[in-house]
Amino acid sequence: MLIAGNWKMYKGPAETAEFCLGLREQELNGVDVVVCPPFVSLAVAVQLLAGTEIAVAAQNVHWEREGAYTGEVSAEMLRELGVYGTIVGHSERRQYFGETDETVAKRVHAALETGLFVIACIGETEEERERNETEDVLRRQLSVLEPDDNLVLAYEPVWAIGTGKTATPELVQEAHAFIKAQLDAPVLYGGSVKPENAAELLEQGHVDGALVGGASLDLESFTAICLAAIHS
Give the residue numbers marked as catalytic: 90, 156
Contact (CB, 8 A) for 163 and 147: no
Cβ atoms 112, 69 nearer than 8 A: no
Cβ–Cβ < 8 Å for 66, 75: no
Cβ neighbours for 223, distance < 8 A, ≥ 6 positions apart: 23, 26, 28
Please say whether the beta carbons of 61 and 107 come within 8 A: yes
Q: Name the nearest CA neighbour of 9 among 39, 30, 49, 50.
A: 39
CA gap 175, 122 in Å, rounded? 11
Q: Are 103 and 88 in contact (CB under 8 A)?
A: no
